[in-house]
Each structure stands twice: as C-alpha cells, then as structure tokens.
Structure 1
Amino acid sequence: MVIFWWTKVWPRVSLHQSRQVTLPTIEKAHDLFDLVKQRQKETLASDSKLLHLDDLIHSDSYNQWAPMILSKCMHGMDKQAAPCIKEANPSNIIEAQELIYPAFRLKLPTFTNSSMKAMWLSEGSRNDWWRVTDDQSWAEFAVFHGQNIIFSNAAYRGDPPADVWSPHGCMVENVSHASFLHNLDGNVTELANDISIDTLVIATTPDSWSFQHFMDRVAAVWSQAQLIIPTTAKKDTVILSGETPRDAIVDEIYELIVGQHLHKLKSVHAKRLVFSCRAPLFHPFTTLRITETIFQSLPPSSSSQRDVILFLSRSIGGKTRNGGRQILNEVEVTNAISAMLNATGRPEQLQETLDKYDVCDIHNMDETGLFYRMQVSSFDNDMYFFHA
C-alpha cells in the first residue's frame, strides 16, 4: 500500500483558452477558467440545476492540477491530436479537446528494510511512466495527454467493450473512437430497441462494476469529461458502464456525479456522445476530483478529530485476496508504522480492522465517507510505507 503525496515538478498554467460557450445563465466567456470565475460570482436559486461547472468551482484539484485544453489544431501538433482529427475530415465530431496534464511527482514510501527498497527501485527502473530522482526521494512523472471528443447523433454498439481487460477497452492504450464516427452525409439509424439519450458519457472500463475500478477508471473518465461539458446539467448527463455495481456505495457515488447510470447495454443512441476514454490512469486531477465531490456532500471536519491511521489490508485470516499477487511483508509494515507513531509521539491509533468498516465489504457511502473525513488522519511527508 502506498499513500500518495502529490507535488508538482514545476509551475504550469492550469487551463489555456478553449472554445466560446453559450450558457443558459452565464454570459459568453473565452475559456473554462473564465466560466468558473463567473459562476463563482453568481447566486444560484435553490431550485437551480447543478452544472458540471459547479463541481469545478469548489475544486482544489481543478485550481492546482487541471490540464491545459487545446481545441484548435495548430502547427506542430500530432495528426492524432483530437482537434486535428476533427479538422482533418468533415464528420459528426462537434468538439474535440487535446488535454495536456501537468507533470507531477510522488514521494517515495519508507521501506521496512534495504532489500525491499532495492527490489522496488529495481522494478521501478523498468517503468516508462516515471523515473526516480537521484536522491531516491521522489518518483517524477512526465506530462500525460488525454482527449475529449463529442460526437453528434452517435450510437454505442458494444465498442469499447465493457468489463474486459482488453487492449481495446476504455482507458486502455488501443481504445478506438471509430465506432462513433460517421461523415456528415451519413446517419446512424436508431434501432427499435435503442435507448435514446441526450448527453451520454462512455465509461465502459475494465471491471467497472467493482468499487476499486470504478474509482480508478470510471471516475477518471467522468472527471475528464466534465471539462468538455461544463455547462451541461449533471442531472441531464448519463454514464454508460458495464455490469451493475456490486457495491451499493458505487450507486450512491453515481447519484452525486450524474443524473442516470446505465449498465450492460449493447445498443444506446445519443444526440451527444462524449468519448473521454483516453484519460490518464492516475493523475492528481482525475484522482482527487471524485474524492472532493464525495467529501463536499458530507459535513465538514477538523484535523483535531482525526485520530486513526488506517491500514487497508488485502489479507483475511492470513490469506491474501489480491488477484494472484502475494503480500510478503504486511506484518513488517504494520510494525514499522506502529514504531514510528510511538517514536514521534503522534496521538493517532493504527487501525487494521473496524467494527463498521470492512474494505472487502464496502456498502454505505455516508458511513464510509464520514469515517474517512472525520477520523482518518494523513501521514506527514516522511511517513509513506511500501507494501509489497
């Protein structure tokens, strides 16, 4: 287990100019940054529909980590950049954004012994996504790219496939948008059993039914898609993923982010189909956005209330539940955390199991979210442990 500490590699502009947008209650603005500033100044009526924009005005991750948005094909851009795809041939693409996410770095964990550290660093040296700094304190991640594309009059017919670990799945390297594309002279015939949607976000990611992969994939697609549909009402937005969620907490989170979520459908027609499947698997913006939205729905808390250091185990009764991978040093890690808490005189208590919280049986968002928000503390910079 690694608890992340996000830090920028260097300062960057959060968002550059995007298209002009006509809003129902907001005057025209030049880019998303201006839209957010204008929305912050407005007083919303109690019966006003919440827009995706309203999530961003309360978002620290938007302020600090949002990607640069490029919506026009410019000299020097790759021909596969989203705006260049749109401009190359007339088609039903009505908007396209190339997103450039700022580089960042993560604090390396504390290791329980030198052999574990050497093994981890050796494996990490083969990773193309990041490099370890010379002082072995940080992992530095380069710039990530993402794409948002909106298609008019498009249909989902099973591609990208849902809930399968395929190179062609949503958020996997070879995902394609070709099935949604047609020329302006063509048309998509609605089938008799089609469900018709106004604004549909495709999120048919691997194992989308599970809490873990909903949080690390479906939520990333949603947070990126918000950048291209900021003035669409959340209640008027539909997400399509795979199997019905196994855990009720996933259904509760869906209710916070969209108006409706559809599952395991092979045929859906949309007036506006949002393709955001080319999103980074992990980045401060996409990772933190969903956590912010959950916490915003809960009562506020203070750091003085947080008295628990929570250890999320993959072991039950001495047996590992981790998809075939073995946990080698769980006892050593928990002992090291306890020793550091004692040595530094911190008041928190290390907790591995909870009467009201079982990480393998997550049910209720209010109960789980409140526990994290009210009681779980965070480590200081030097207290990150590697869990093999």
Structure 2
Amino acid sequence: MSKINKVVLAYSGGLDTSAIIPWLKENYDCEVVAFVADVGQGEEELVGIEEKAIASGASACYIADLKEEMVKDYIYPSLKTGAIYEGKYLLGTSMARPIIAKAQVECALEIGADALCHGCTGKGNDQVRFEGAFAALAPQLTVIAPWREWNLRSREALLDYLAERNIPCTASLEKIYSRDANAWHVSTEGGVLENTWNAPNELCWVWTKDPQQAPDVAETVSVLVEKGEVVAVDGKPMTPYNALHYLNGKGIEHGIGRIDIVENRLVGIKSRGCYETPGGTIMMEALRAVEQLVLDKESFEFRQTIGLKASHLIYDGRWFTPLCQSLLAAANTLAQDVTGEVVIQLYKGQATVTQKRSLNSLYSEEFATFGEDDVYDHSHAGGFIRLYSLASRIRALNSQK
C-alpha cells in the first residue's frame, strides 16, 4: 500500500462504507474522514449518521447539504438538453454523482487530505463516474477503491469483519434489493429483478403508488417555465429543489414516473432496474411541451441530437469535460425562448399535457387552420415541393436515359 496520511471517504452509513473505514485504517494506516452528501435521499438515511461514522473509526464526519445546488446546477441544465438514456432512463443516479464527487474533492482539499475513497463495486458505473470526476478536479489526489482491493466478497463477510472489531452496525444479513435515492429519483436493483422474466413485485417500488391503486379522479398541475427552467408550480414561485419536491408529492400520489428497464452499463454489463422519477417526469413533460411551441424544426432536431449525446456523457461520468459543458451551453442557448405555461393531467401513472401556451410560440392558428384563411395560398406549395424534390427528380430522369 502506498503511504496515505488522510483520506476522505464518500460515506453513506451503509454496510459497505461502515466496513471501509476500519479497513482503510488497518491497511493504509491513515486517518479517515467521512463525507456525507445530502442530495435528498431522505432524512431517515441521515439520522445518526455522524455518530455511526465516528463509531466505525472515522476521525470526523462532514455532512454537506447539496439538494438545492444539485437541482439548480446539475438537474436543470440536464433537463434543458432533454437527456434520456436509452430512451427511458432520466439519469437519476448519474446526475447526482458529479456534485457528490465535486463536494468530496472540495472537502479533501480544504482539510489537507491526500486521498479520496469510494465504496463502488468493480462491476458498476459509479466507480467510473466518481473517478472520472476526481481525475478532472483533483488529479493529484490518490484514489482508493476497496472493492477492487479487498477480499471481502459478501454481506456475511462484511458483517463478520465489523463484528470481529466490535463495530456496531444495523445492517442485516439479508438484503434483497440494492437501492439508491436522491431528490430526483429512487432506483431498485437485485432480488426478483435479476431474472428478466420475473415481473416486478410491490417491493420493487419504493415511492410511487401502484397506478392501479392511484386515485380514480385525475388531478392537474400548472407548471410555469422560464428559459427552460421550472420557476413556479400551481401559481406559486419556487426554488428548483422546492419545485421538484412539490411535484414529487403530486407524482407519487398518482403513480407517475415508473420504468422497468434493462440498460447497458458503461463497463459492458447489462443490468435491470426499476426507477421512479415522479416529479422529474412531470418536469420533463412540461419542458418538452413548451419546446414544441417555440423551437423551429431544425432547432428542435438539434436539441434532440444534443439530448442523445448528453445522455451518454452524463451516464458515462463525463460531466466535467469540455464536450459535456459545450453541449450544456448549446442547450442553454436554445432554451432562451423556452418560456411558457403548461397544464399537465396526472392520472394512474400517466402525465399528459392538456394545455400549453407561450408568448414565444411559433404556432399560429391563422396558418394552421383547416378553414379558409388569408395568410396561406395553397398554390404556393407546388413550387416549393418541386424545388424540394429537385434532386430526386434529376436522379430519376438520369436513370430513365
């Protein structure tokens, strides 16, 4: 082991990171500082976490409230791109990792640590996301990934490791599902989901009501969008986090935002997960509805291109790269006219836009009407079509010679 004096660990309070603290002290003979990121995973996850970290052997535990910053500076910019990974995934875990890693690096630099540590396994995407951010922000710091070094390979082994050292742990031997939550979403993997022929059971969904058990009466929400950002809901101005929190409550009640997906991990493994993004699904519908009104055909097509590329960069942990930042800047430019109001109906798992308007709208009832109008001469279309199809006409004439 290389000589490490002080390491900052991304700490969750779970079984893995509880075992990592004593393991680091024993194998690196270093001081361990626990870093906890509050990204909206829920108060129950944070209760007593500082005491738990100290009891595991950490010299200190820092808790950073990142909820508002995450939504404002990471989720909202991503929303403007329209990024959806592989057509369904709203990138809930992916968008939280850059801000956690950034705050962890800032903590390490502030307290004079010379190493960073995470509890990600060697099979997943998160190890790439964390270490990609570390490399971009503080390449001089050593990175330690215990799951790629130690010989502890099961929950039983981790529990025995802690018990041998008299370190208290509330985790049990049985952990059917692996979950990750933040203000944007909650994910569930493992258990019955490991067999793709198994339908998800009630334990696979954490937040949202079963759409079949959701209210029989639809509810509508009004979302005000300014320059591609949700600024008010139901007539009340809100901060980004508060808007998301409010819409989460609405979406949860009506079973909005559930997906069951088999995705391609960056490391080459396919994995299956049940993801719930209630408020985020409503926000995404609102932004796309305003875009339909204000973006011309070529602009909308380019925004779709940005969204596709951005989805892979965000998923792959490349937030802190020039290309990703360029795409975010381009999406922000297109979003300058994305201002308007949208009414969305929530009903049994569906978020359906029923009304939309914008002062920047390119939609004109006068032009679009099927009735008689004075602004469009149908005869003009003939010349346009002849020029538009000129290349095809020339090609066909050549083939007839």
Q: TM-score normalised by the shorter chain: which range applies? A: under 0.3
Name the TM-score, length of structure 2 as normaliser: 0.26
Instruction: Name the structure with the higher helix share.
Output: 2
Q: Greater CA radius of gyration, 1 or 2?
A: 2
TM-score (norm 1): 0.27
